[in-house]
Amino acid sequence: MAGTEVTNRQIIFKNYVVGWPKESDMELVTTTKKLELREGQKDVILKVLYLSCDPYQRGRMRNAVDSYIPPFTPGKPLDGYGVGKVVRSNDPDFKENDLVEGLVAWEEYSLGFKLSKIESDVVPVSYYLGALGMAGFTAYVGFFQVCEPKKGETIYVSAASGAVGQMVGQFAKLFGCHVVGSAGSAQKVDLLKNKFGYDEAFNYKEEPDLDAALKRHCPQGIDMYFENVGGKMLDAVLLNMKVHGRIAVCGMISQYNNEVHEPIYNLNITVKRRLKIQGFLQSDFIHLKPEFKKTVVEWFKEKKLEYVEDIADGLEKGPAALIGMLAGKNVGKQGIKVADF
């Protein structure tokens, strides 16, 4: 099918990264693209509206052979989760001007993959990057499925003001748990306490002794730990877990840029306390996605949930936004606005 040719800016991944990534590991280029559908394929071409910055993308910057997701390809655009508007479609499930979420390249016009229609206008479209996207779904299945919560239990969440953590804490409060979180600035701690409803919160950067901080904020111990950080934080948490405690391992962002990972010294606690430690991917629970969307949209409609975003304006801001997110500079879910509707 013949297609219109458009100017198409892209963020290109230049080469594999060792250590901390830099903005110069990515490059903004301007190309042209034909909005052309392949015959016999269910192609959907999108005008990209928003892009998501997520910690897992750091892993895709190394040429790893043991990852659950392929690395980026040097010389090609980065890709990830995004929101877009359909401009061309060979797929009967999607028509022109539909708003969708799914996988897209970091460019202004992209083929879309694993797409879902955005049916509700209860929340801003950008929330489908986070609260109603991968981050929110990760929080939902991590808490309700992996943590196996019981009312009245104590949950501790690290990186608690991030895209996933802010949702975990609110789900736990709605369920009836005592919720404790940590973050890396006074501003983020204030959000935890005064916007997301955390019962206790602390700035881990101001705590020389993480074990003492956890004992102060969780004096009865921790039933559930939602792990986003790893390293010294995980070691300290292990000392404070209660018997039959559960640890849901979502990520370990403190280790992503280390060539040699920090050792964990307190794993012997897992035997004495009969702990369950489970890593998980949101894709393990994809059958629960409709339930998640229905439930969380309803909670937003009832004003039971809050969400904070940090949206960089313009595709050209993408590299700085991604690097800043990995360094914890963002406040809330980090996204990139590429275009208006």
Would you state the pLDDT for residue 341? Answer: 86
Domain that holds residue 264: 135-283
What confidence tens digit (pLDDT) does each residue in 64-120 have?
A: 777 888 999 999 999 999 999 999 999 999 999 999 999 999 999 999 999 999 988
The total domain count for the chain is: 2
pTM of the full structure: 0.94
Q: Do 140 and 223 share a domain, yes or no?
A: yes
DSSP category for residue 311: E
Q: Is 194 inside any structural domain?
A: yes
Q: Which two tokens stand for residue 142?
A: 């991590």
Residue 1 has pLDDT above 50, yes or no: no
Pairing of strands 99-105, 113-117: antiparallel
* CA gyration radius, the chain: 21
Residue 2 has pLDDT above 60, yes or no: no
Q: Is 288 inside any structural domain?
A: no
Q: Do 172 and 254 share a domain, yes or no?
A: yes
Q: Do 124 and 79 share a domain, yes or no?
A: yes
Q: How distant, in Å, are the alpha carbons of 75, 169, 201 from that of 333? A: 27, 14, 19
Q: Do 143 and 279 share a domain, yes or no?
A: yes
Q: Do 156 and 223 share a domain, yes or no?
A: yes
Type of residue numbered 314:
G
Q: Is 292 inside any structural domain?
A: no
Report d(CA 203, CA 132) in Å as an integer. Answer: 27
Q: Is 88 inside any structural domain?
A: yes
Q: Do 160 and 277 share a domain, yes or no?
A: yes
Report d(CA 237, CA 215) in Å as an integer. Answer: 9
Report d(CA 44, CA 309) in Å as an integer. Answer: 28
Report d(CA 30, CA 8) in Å as an integer. Answer: 6
Q: Do 97 and 164 share a domain, yes or no?
A: no
Nearest 10 degrees: CA dihedral of 329, 334, 339, 341? -140
Is there a contact between 43 and 91 (Cβ–Cβ < 8 Å)? Answer: yes
CATH number, residue 40: 3.90.180.10
CATH number, residue 279: 3.40.50.720
What confidence tens digit (pLDDT) does each residue in 175-216 have?
A: 999 999 999 999 999 999 999 999 999 999 999 999 999 999
